[in-house]
Structure formats: structure tokens, C-alpha cells
């Protein structure tokens, strides 16, 4: 890159502050790609990660049964044809150990780890208006400065402790799914409890139910889950994929969910009841998220949605032998796909095992944790191990967890007090040169996070290159383009059935959090178009400032 370096903002050389071009926070897929990209651009960078290694959510989530629920072929980096050719997936939906091996392979292949400080938390990031720099302090007491700061902190990195009294009293083993130990856990002969039946809880239940002495599943809201139908990837098929990766990626980038999967525009009521049933049966048999793509109006037509929900309830009834358990497992009162759809392997069958007990917390609520286990309205269940699969302070939790202070001393907590707002989920008015990947006002949780991370990092890299080439000091969205973006996000979200479920997608799982869908639901390909438009004409609509006079400190 023929870039002009920004003039060095002067400061004594021996002040213990490390001067950089870019600071990156987070070592998941977004942070790793950012490190690769900015290093390739010749920028001096430092990345921080609170874990002991790269991997983000896959580093922390080592619970039994953890597995990606997008096809591995989609859920992988596309920026490096070499990595695509050198890496071979063994299963259609890779399990967490294989995902970590992939992440390790990428980190080694691109020599990424040397740029990271592990076991390091960023405590604060403060914008210095005069010197056009971010000052970042870590929990190790070190200070770093750079004109650019990238928050690759991820939408799911702050586990949510449930509002259950007495958890600290529990004398058995208390385990967080999202902070799982690195050593294997022996469940044999143990009385195990699981609280939470989202994507995480479902994966744990179907695995631990087959290992534990007894398993008690404390379910408040049942989720809709569909068969994953995972299969090994045969070498011949993998070879085909490798030959055609370029085309597969192109389809993914131009799709609504960032994956090379069909999404129908067919309206539910445009086909006869018999045809609908045949389509639903077919998608059930295909497995994965095929059902989501069967009809185009499932998230805007409540009646169509209810038909599909009832179809899935019927499947639950066919599998679960005890009628009362089957009834409790059938989700009601919110639209299917308004909570993150889950994929399973024998989840409902697990409840036919004699050692697995469904504890319906809608009819028999949890009152408290005790020394021995969990007390519900009907009595105490004694446990040796209690697993919390109770979700995350999603989308905004990670950024709100430390001090981010922008122009005029304004904090991100203040800016987001009524809910997150930004331009494209990438930049924030009032916070110059601060960038997010997979931020809360982009497609965030609604599309393939790796496609999104690549898109966002590329956009950020182009913006930084633009500043450097033109000797400019800072960029931020104007109030107007941020307002326009948020208006579009809200207008699209307004009629979506997603608002009708109480989930982390709308902030409903964390007490006191502003409610409402703040993600861009217009689809990943449209999002990319908006990103490209925002960069056009020299980032028109952004507030771009020249490099200020260097200030002696
Ligand atoms: P989640 O979907 O937010 O589910 C949390 C569960 O905990 C819910 O069932 C919730 O019940 C329950 N819960 C929370 N507090 C509770 C309390 N005080 N008492 C009783 N139950 C309580 O969290 P998650 O399962 O960790 O999934 C989060 C996201 O991670 C997913 O949506 C997905 O995006 C991602 N994920 C992906 C995969 C994959 O790729 N395979 C796997 C796991 C997770 P209520 O709904 O009633 O509050």
C-alpha cells in the first residue's frame, strides 16, 4: 500500500506508553482477521485478548456437545484461497474441538499469535481530541496509544449470570457453559442439572443426558429445534468444494444470511396446504436451517408462521413418548424463528431416556439455589453438578463492560443508554477512529459472523487507508448518517415478528436493558451494499478531519 504515515504525535519517548497505528480488542474470528489484515497493510499493531489464546467464543465454549450450527464450509474464512485449499473439514457441522483446530491452523499459518497479548483485558479506551489518538489501558497497568482502535469484542462474549438467588450457596459443582474447563468432566453416576434451553442448553442436554446418572433440565421457555442431520464430509465432496470455493463464497456474500443456502421468496399461502406440508416435510428431512428458507414471509406473516410452528410441535409430539413432557417441550406464545432457531441431534429423543427429567419452570418456577441443588415451587432437586446455560449479555455487553470515552468526554454508556446506535454497526458518531466488527446495528446475530467480520474488517481497512493516503487525522459518521441508518434499522425491524419473542436479540434477557430489535434485518447482501455506499465519494456524510497540529505532552 502506498500510504502516507500519519505524522507522529509527539510525546516523550520514555514515558512508558507504547505507540502504535492500530489497537485491536478481541481474539475471535473478527480480531484474528483484523490482525492479519492490518499487519499486511504494514500498520504497527497490538491486539488484546482476555483468554489465554485465540478463538473467542470457541475458546471459551468447550461444553460437551458444542458444535457450530452453520455448515463448516460456510463457517470459515474466505479471504485466503491458500487456507481454503489447505484445510479439510471432517463434518458438515464441525464440533468445537475441530473449530479450535481450524482456528489454531489459521493462527499458525498466518503467524497471528505474536501480535496478541493474551490474558489481558482492556480497561479503558479514551479519545484524545488534540492528539487524535486513542489511549488504551489494560488490566496489567500498561498504556498504549494509536490513532485507530478496533473493537472486535463479539456479540456473545459476556455470559449472563441468571437472576437466581443463592447460587453462591450451592455446594456442588457450579459450571458456566460459556466458561467451560479445559479438562474433561465426568458425569457418570452424577445428578446433573442444566438451567437454560437455548442453543447452548440443547447441545448440552442431548450430550450429557446420555452420560449422567440423572439429568434434570430446568426449562423456562422451550425453544424450537430442528434436526441438524450432521454427516461426515467425504474426501471426494471436500475436493469438489475446494475446486468451487470461489463460487460458493460469491453466493454467500450475495445472500441474506451470508451462507450459500437457498432462501425462498415463496409466500406461504401461495401454495396449497398439501404442497406446504410437502415442503415442510422435505425441509425437516433435509435438516439444518432448511425450514427457515422454505417460505419468504415467515417473519412477517403471523398466520404463516403459526402453521410452521405447529408443524414442528407435531414433530415433537411424534418423538417424545410421555404426553405431558411432549406438551411442555412444545414452544408456544412466540413465533418460530423469532428466537434463534436451534439445531439438534436427538434432543427430543433424550427425554425418552429414563434418567432424563424435564423440569417445567413455567408451571413450577425456580425459587432459589440451595446448598444441595435447586428449589422450585414443588420442592428441592438435589444435584452434584449444576450447569448454567443461561446465555449472554449479547450485542452490547462487551463494549459496555469497560470505559470507552469519545469526543468531549462522552461515554459509550451514555450514548447507548436508550439502546445501541451506530452507523452500520461499524462506527459511532462522537467516537472518531473507533471501529466495531459485527456491531449491534449491523446484521450482528442474523447472518454468518465470519462473512460479516471479513466485510467489516475490509471496510475499516479501506477507511484507514483512505485517511493515511490523504494525510487525514480522523473519521466518524455525522449525526445525520447515523440517524438515517438507525431510522432504516428501526423501520425494517418494526414489522418483524422477531420483536414478539423475549430474547437476547431484543435485549429482553437482561434486566434493565433497553428493549427492541436494533439489528439490521435487511439481509447481509443489502448490508454490504450500504457499506459500499457509505465509503463512496470519499466517505461522503462522514466528518473527516485533517491531522491536527502535534501537541507536546
Ligand atoms: P440463550 O439463547 O439466551 O438461552 C438462555 C437460556 O437460559 C434460555 O432458555 C433462558 O430462558 C434460560 N434462562 C436464563 N435465565 C434464566 C433463569 N433465571 N431461570 C431459568 N432459565 C433461565 O443463550 P444460549 O443458549 O447460550 O445461546 C445464545 C446464542 O449463542 C444463540 O442464540 C446462538 O446465536 C449462539 N450459539 C450458537 C451455537 C451454535 O452455533 N451451535 C451454540 C450455542 C449458542 P428464557 O428464554 O425463559 O429467558
Q: Please give the distance, rounded to the nearest whole angstrom, from the Cα atom of residue 221 to the centre of ligand 1.
A: 10
Q: How far is the CA of 389 from the centre of ligand 1 (A)?
A: 6
Q: How far is the CA of 481 from the centre of ligand 1 (A)?
A: 34
Per-residue pLDDT at 396:
95
Give the whole-angstrom CA distance, residue 492 versus residue 518.
Answer: 10
Q: Report CA(245)–ligand 1 centroid distance (Å).
A: 33
Ligand 1 mutation pick, 69, 176, 206, 220, max ligand atoms within 8 A of CB = 220
Which residue's alpha carbon is nearest to atom 30 within ligand 1? 199
**The predicted structure's pLDDT at residue 260:** 84
Distance from Cα 35 to the centre of ligand 1, integer Å: 30
504 Cα: distance to centroid of ligand 1 (angstroms): 8
Torsion angle of C-alpha atoms 200, 203, 206, 211, degrees rounded to 10? -90
Which residue's CA lies nearest to atom 4 of ligand 1? 198
Mutate which of 156, 199, 288, 345 for ligand 1? The one with the most ligand atoms within 8 Å of its CB, which is 199
How far does the centroid of ligand 1 lie from the alpha carbon of residue 198, in Å?
A: 4
Q: DSSP assignment, residue 283?
A: H
Q: What is the pLDDT of residue 282?
A: 97
Helix residue spans in 470-507 (DSSP H): 479-494
Sheet of 379-382, strands arranged across: 366-369, 373-376, 379-382
Query: Cell 489511549 appears where?
Result: 135
- Tell me the best of 175, 193, 390, 503 to mutate to test the pocket of ligand 1, counting ligand atoms within 8 Å of each CB and taking the most: 390
CA dist., res. 553 & res. 546, Å (int): 20
- What is the pLDDT tens value at each position of the chain, 553 positions in all? 334 444 444 455 578 999 999 999 999 999 999 999 999 999 999 999 999 999 999 999 999 999 999 999 999 999 999 999 999 999 999 999 999 999 999 999 999 999 999 999 999 999 999 999 999 999 999 999 999 999 999 999 999 989 999 999 999 999 999 999 999 999 999 999 999 999 999 999 999 999 999 999 999 999 999 999 999 999 999 999 999 999 999 999 999 999 988 889 999 999 999 999 999 999 999 999 999 999 999 999 999 999 999 999 999 999 999 999 999 999 999 999 999 999 999 999 999 999 999 999 999 999 999 999 999 999 999 999 999 999 999 999 999 999 999 999 999 999 999 999 999 999 999 999 999 999 999 999 999 999 999 999 999 999 999 999 999 999 999 999 999 999 999 999 998 999 999 999 999 999 999 999 999 999 999 999 999 999 999 999 999 999 986 544 3
- Indicate left, alpha or beta for 46 from its phi (over 0: left) and psi (-120 to 50: alpha): beta
Nearest to 198 by CA among 340, 357, 326, 325: 340
Closest alpha carbon to 437 in 8, 25, 15: 25
Ligand 1 is surrounded, with C-beta below 6 A, by 67-69, 156, 162-164, 195-201, 203, 218, 220-221, 340, 361, 366, 389-392, 445, 504, 509
Quick one: 211 exposed, middle or buried, by C-beta within 10 A (0-12, 13-18, 19+)?
middle
Please say whether the beta carbons of 23 and 150 come within 8 A: yes
Name, in order, each residue with C-beta under 8 angstroms of 324's C-beta and a sequence gap of 6 or more.
none
Amino acid at each position: 500500500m502506498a500510504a502516507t504515515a500519519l505524522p507522529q504525535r509527539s510525546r516523550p519517548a520514555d514515558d512508558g506508553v507504547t505507540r502504535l497505528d492500530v489497537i485491536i480488542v478481541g481474539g475471535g474470528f473478527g480480531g484474528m482477521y483484523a490482525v492479519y489484515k492490518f499487519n499486511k497493510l504494514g500498520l504497527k499493531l497490538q491486539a488484546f485478548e482476555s483468554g489465554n489464546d485465540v478463538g473467542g467464543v470457541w475458546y471459551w465454549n468447550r461444553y460437551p456437545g458444542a458444535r457450530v450450527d452453520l455448515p463448516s464450509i460456510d463457517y470459515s474464512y474466505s479471504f485466503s484461497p491458500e487456507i481454503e485449499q489447505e484445510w479439510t473439514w471432517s463434518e458438515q457441522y464441525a464440533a468445537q474441538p475441530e473449530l479450535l483446530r481450524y482456528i489454531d491452523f489459521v493462527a499458525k499459518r498466518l503467524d497471528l499469535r505474536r501480535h496478541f497479548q493474551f490474558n489481558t483485558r482492556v480497561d479503558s479506551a479514551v479519545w484524545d481530541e488534540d492528539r487524535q489518538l486513542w489511549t488504551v489501558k489494560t488490566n496489567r497497568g500498561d498504556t498504549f496509544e494509536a490513532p485507530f482502535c478496533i473493537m472486535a469484542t463479539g456479540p456473545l462474549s459476556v455470559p449472563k449470570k441468571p437472576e437466581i438467588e443463592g447460587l453462591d450457596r450451592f455446594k456442588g459443582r457450579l459450571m458456566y457453559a460459556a466458561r467451560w474447563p479445559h479438562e474433561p468432566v465426568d458425569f457418570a453416576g452424577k445428578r446433573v442439572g442444566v438451567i437454560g434451553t437455548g442453543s447452548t442448553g440443547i447441545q448440552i442436554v442431548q450430550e450429557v443426558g446420555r452420560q449422567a446418572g440423572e439429568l434434570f433440565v430446568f426449562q423456562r421457555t422451550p425453544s424450537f429445534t430442528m434436526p441438524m442431520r450432521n454427516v461426515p464430509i467425504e474426501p471426494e465432496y471436500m475436493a469438489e468444494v475446494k475446486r468451487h470455493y470461489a463460487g460458493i463464497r460469491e453466493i454467500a456474500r450475495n445472500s441474506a444470511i451470508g451462507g450459500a443456502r437457498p432462501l425462498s421468496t415463496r409466500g406461504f399461502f401461495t401454495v396449497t396446504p398439501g404442497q406446504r406440508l410437502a415442503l415442510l416435510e422435505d425441509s425437516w428431512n433435509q435438516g439444518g436451517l432448511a425450514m427457515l428458507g422454505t417460505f419468504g414471509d415467515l417473519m412477517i406473516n403471523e398466520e404463516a408462521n403459526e402453521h410452521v410452528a405447529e408443524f414442528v410441535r407435531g414433530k415433537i409430539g411424534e418423538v417424545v413418548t410421555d404426553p405431558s413432557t411432549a406438551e411442555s417441550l412444545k414452544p408456544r406464545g412466540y413465533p418460530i424463528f423469532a428466537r434463534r432457531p436451534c439445531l439438534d441431534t436427538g434432543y427430543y429423543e433424550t427425554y425418552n431416556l429414563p434418567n432424563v427429567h424435564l423440569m417445567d419452570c413455567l408451571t413450577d418456577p425456580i425459587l432459589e439455589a440451595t446448598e444441595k441443588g435447586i428449589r422450585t415451587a414443588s420442592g428441592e432437586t438435589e444435584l452434584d453438578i449444576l450447569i448454567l446455560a443461561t446465555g449472554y449479555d449479547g450485542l452490547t455487553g462487551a463494549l459496555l463492560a469497560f470505559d470507552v470515552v469519545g469526543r468531549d468526554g462522552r461515554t459509550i454508556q451514555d450514548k447507548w443508554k436508550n439502546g445501541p446506535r451506530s452507523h452500520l454497526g461499524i462506527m459511532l458518531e462522537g467516537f472518531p477512529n473507533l471501529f466495531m466488527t459485527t456491531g449491534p446495528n449491523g446484521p450482528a446475530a442474523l447472518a454468518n459472523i465470519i462473512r460479516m467480520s471479513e466485510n467489516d474488517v475490509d471496510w475499516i481497512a479501506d477507511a484507514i487507508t483512505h485517511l493515511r493516503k490523504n494525510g487525514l487525522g480522523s473519521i466518524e459518521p455525522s449525526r445525520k448518517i447515523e440517524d438515517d441508518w438507525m431510522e432504516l434499522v428501526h423501520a425494517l425491524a418494526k414489522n418483524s415478528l422477531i420483536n414478539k419473542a423475549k430474547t437476547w436479540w431484543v435485549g429482553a434477557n437482561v434486566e434493565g436493558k433497553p428493549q427492541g430489535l436494533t439489528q439490521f434485518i435487511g439481509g447481509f447482501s443489502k448490508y454490504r451494499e450500504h457499506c459500499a455506499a457509505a465509503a463512496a465519494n470519499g466517505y461522503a456524510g462522514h466528518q473527516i478531519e485533517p491531522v491536527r497540529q502535534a501537541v507536546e505532552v
